[in-house]
Amino acid sequence: MKRFSPVFRNLTRKPGRTTALILLTAFLALSLFAGTMVVSSLRRGLGSMENRLGADIIVVPAEAESKSSLKNMLLQGTIGTFYMDASAVDKVRETEGVQKASAQVFLSSMKADCCSVKVQIIGFDPENDFVVKPWIAESLNRPLGDMEIVIGNRVATDVGEIFRIYDQRCLVAARLAATGTGLDTAVYCNMNTMHALLEAAEEKGISHKIDTGNDAEVVSAIYVRTLPGADVGLVNNRLNGKIRKATAVRTTGMLTEVSDSLGGVSRTVAVLIAAVWILALVILFIAFAMMVNERRRELAVYRLVGMSRSMLSGMILKETALCSLAGAVCGVLLGALAVFPFTTLIETSLKLPYLAPGTGTVAAYAALAIAVTVAAGCAASLHTASKLSRVDPGSTLREGA
Amino acid sequence: MKKNLFAILLMIFAAVIAVGSVTVLGPCVHEDGSKGPCADAGKALLIDGCVMAILAILITMVNRRGLRMALFAAALCAAVIGILLPGVLMPLCKMDTMHCRAVMQPSMIILSGAAAVSALTGIITERSRKA
C-alpha cells in the first residue's frame, strides 16, 4: 500500500476528478457486463429450448393457428388449449418415416385456484413419451403416480404440497430444472390424472370437446421423432397430407425463428455496447488530455524532487488503474443488480427463452469485464502519461512564474 | 447539507418505495380488476416507505447526535423490514412471472437495501461526528 501512497494522495486530493473517472469506467463495465450477461442468457435459453423440445415434428390442431400458438406457449408460457381427435396419434404412428409419436393434452387451470393466475397443465403418456420423461427423470427417480404432478421451475409451490386444480387435490412430486422457456410455468401429469382433471373441468362448465361434439378422447399435440436418416421435411409433408384438421410443424423451423430473433437482439445489444464504449472512451481520452495542462506544474515539481520519467508515467498509470478498477467493480456490481433480480422481467419483455448462466460463467464474465475496463482506462491514459513524463520542469515552472 | 446527506438519501429511497408501491413497482392487478394475495404486501410497503420518509424528515430537523442516531437506527429497522416484507413476512403470488415477483419484490429489496445502507452510514457518520 505504501508504494501507492502518492497515488492515493493524488486521487483523494481531487475528489471530483476521481469520482468522474470512476463513474465513467463504471459505466463502461456496467454496459459490457450487463450486455454480455443478457446475450449469454439468451443463447443458453435457446440451447435449453433445443434440448427440451426433443422432437423433430409437432402435430397440432389447425385451430392452433399453425405454429404461433405453440411457439407462444413454449416461449412465453401463454396458455394453449386446443384439441383434436386422439385417433390422429395412430395415424401419425402409421406414417412412413415416423419412429416415435407421443401425445400430450393441454389444459388451463382456473384463475385464482392456486396461483392467482391460470396455469398450463400438460398431460403426457408415460408409456410412449420421449419428450417430458427424460426431463422429469432429472428430478424424480420413480414413475409419476396418479393424481401426482411435477411443477415447472417457476411455479412457487413446494414439493410435497397439495396443488388444487379444479378442486382436485394433486400432490407435487417434484420440481423441474429451469429451462428459461414458458414450460417453466407449466404443470405436468400423467394421462390418468389429466382425464380426471378434464372431467373436473367439464363439471365446472369448461368444455374441451372438439367440434364434432362427440366424447372421443382428445389430444392437444403429438410430438414426433423421425427414423434416423429420414427426410424430416418429407415426413412433415406426409403428416400434413394425412392428418385432417391438423398442422405438422417442424421444430427446426420454430428454433430458426427464435434463433433469428435472438440474433437481432444480440446485434442490438452489441451495437449499444459499442456505442457506449466509443462514447465513454472518447470522453476518457478528452478528460486525460485536459489533465495534461492541469497537472503540468504539479508533475514538474515531482521531476525536480528527483522522480524519473518512468516513475512519473508509472504514477499516472497507477492512478488510472486504481480509478478504473474501482469503477469497473462498481459497474459490474450495478450490472449484476440490474440483470439478475429482473431475469423474469427481461425474459417476458424480450419474449425469448432466457436462462442465466451458472455461477462460474458469471464470475468469469465479471472478471473479464473488469480486466477489459481497466485495460481500456490504462490505454486511454497512456498518451497522457508519456506526454506528462516528458515535461521540462525548469521551463514549465518559469512559465507559471 | 453535508450533515444531512444520508438523511436526504434515505428520504429519496423511502419516497421511491412509497410512491413505487402504489404505481409501477406495486402489486399485481388482474385484468378484471381483482387483487392477488400480494396486495397486502403492497400496502405494507407503502406504510413502511412512509415511516422511513417521516424518520428521514425528522433526522434533518433534529440536531442532537444521540437522537439522530436513534432515528437512523429506527430507519435501519424499517429498511430491513422493507427487505423482508415481500415474500418473507407477507405472501406474494405463487408464480415467478407475476408482476409482484418479477418487478415489485426485486425492486423493493434493492431500494430497501439501499435505504438500509444509507441509514447504517448515517449511524457511522453520526458516531464519528464531534458532539
What are the extents of the domains in chain A? 2-48+258-399, 53-250
Q: In the predicted model, is pLDDT for residue A85 greater than 70?
A: yes
- Quick one: average pLDDT of A74-96? 79
Cell 401463454 belongs to which residue? A78
Per-residue DSSP letter, B94:
S
pLDDT in tens, A174-229: 988 888 777 788 889 998 898 888 888 888 777 666 555 444 578 888 989 999 88
Q: Residue A300 has which C-alpha cell?
A: 514538474
Q: Is residue B118 part of a domain?
A: yes
- Per-residue CA distances from A242 to A88, A153, A232, A279 (Å): 9, 37, 15, 59
pLDDT of residue A164: 83
Window 11-70 of B, Cβ < 8 Å to A:
28, 30, 34, 36-38
Q: Is residue B68 part of a domain?
A: yes
pLDDT of residue A111: 57
Among A36-40, A305-309, A394-398, name the most confident range. Answer: A36-40
Q: Is residue B80 part of a domain?
A: yes
Work out the mean pLDDT of chain A and round it to a whole number. 82
Residue of A114, A115, A344 with shortest CB distance to B102: A344
Q: In the predicted model, is pLDDT for residue A74 greater than 90?
A: no
Distance from CA of B95 to the nearest CA of A (A): 5
Q: Residue A219 has which C-alpha cell?
A: 389430444
Q: Which residues contact A102 (CB under 8 A, 6 or more apart)?
A: A55, A124, A125, A128, A129, A130, A131, A222, A223
pLDDT of residue A258: 75
pLDDT band at residue B4 under the 50/70/90 scheme: confident
Q: Residue B24 has which C-alpha cell?
A: 409501477
Q: Do A185 and B109 touch (CB under 8 A)?
A: no
pLDDT of residue A400: 56
Q: Do A117 and B93 touch (CB under 8 A)?
A: yes
pLDDT of residue A348: 81
pLDDT in tens, A347-358: 888 878 888 888
Q: Do B102 and A156 touch (CB under 8 A)?
A: no
Residue A268 has a CB neighbour count (10 Å cut-off) of 12
Spatial separation of the C-alpha atoms in residues B20 and B102, rounded to whole Å: 14
In this structure, which amino acid lies at residue A383? H
Percent of chain A with pLDDT over 70: 89
Residue of A77, A115, A341 with shortest CB distance to B94: A115
Spatial separation of the C-alpha atoms in residues B123 and A133, rounded to whole Å: 56
Q: Kindly calculate the radius of gyration of chain A based on its CA atoms and give it in whole angstroms.
A: 31
- Quick one: average pLDDT of B57-80? 94
Q: Is residue B26 part of a domain?
A: no
- Quick one: average pLDDT of B52-76? 94
Q: Note whether B21 and B42 are within 8 A (CB).
A: yes
pLDDT in tens, A98-152: 998 998 888 877 654 445 567 888 888 888 888 888 888 888 888 888 899 998 8
A chain contacts of residue B5, beta-carbon cutoff 8 Å: none
Distance from CA of A116 to the nearest CA of B (A): 6
Spatial separation of the C-alpha atoms in residues A83 and A246, rounded to whole Å: 10
Q: Residue B29 has which C-alpha cell?
A: 392487478
Total residue count of chain B as it appears in this document: 131
User: Nearest Cα to A37, choosing from A325, A309, A340?
Assistant: A340
pLDDT of residue B85: 94
| Angle A368-A369-A375 from CA coordinates, rounded to 5° | 85
Q: Note whether A58 and A225 are within 8 A (CB).
A: no
Q: Residue B21 has which C-alpha cell?
A: 408501491
Q: Is residue B50 part of a domain?
A: yes
pLDDT of residue A112: 45
pLDDT of residue A114: 47
Residue of B93, B97, B110 with shortest CB distance to A341: B110
Nearest CA in chain B to A337: B110
Q: Note whether A27 and A282 are within 8 A (CB).
A: no
pLDDT of residue B72: 95
Q: In the predicted model, is pLDDT for residue A170 greater than 80?
A: yes
Q: Note whether A235 and A59 are within 8 A (CB).
A: no
pLDDT in tens, B29-57: 876 677 778 899 999 999 999 999 999 99
Q: In the predicted model, is pLDDT for residue A68 greater than 60?
A: no
Q: Which domain holds residue B49?
A: 5-19+37-128
Q: Is residue B65 part of a domain?
A: yes
Spatial separation of the C-alpha atoms in residues A301 and A299, rounded to whole Å: 5
ipTM confidence score? 0.81
Q: How many domains does chain B have?
A: 1
- Quick one: average pLDDT of A233-249? 87
pLDDT of residue B46: 96
Residue A290: phi and psi, rounded to 5, are -70, -30
pLDDT of residue A215: 47
Q: Which residues on chain A place their C-beta less than 8 Å from a C-beta of chain B?
A: 77, 111-112, 114-117, 119, 154-157, 184-185, 337, 341-342, 344-345, 348
Work out the mean pLDDT of chain B and round it to a whole number. 91
Q: Is residue B28 part of a domain?
A: no
- Per-residue CA distances from B20 to A48, A225, A314, B16, B78 (Å): 35, 50, 48, 5, 16
Residue A22: phi and psi, rounded to 5, are -65, -45
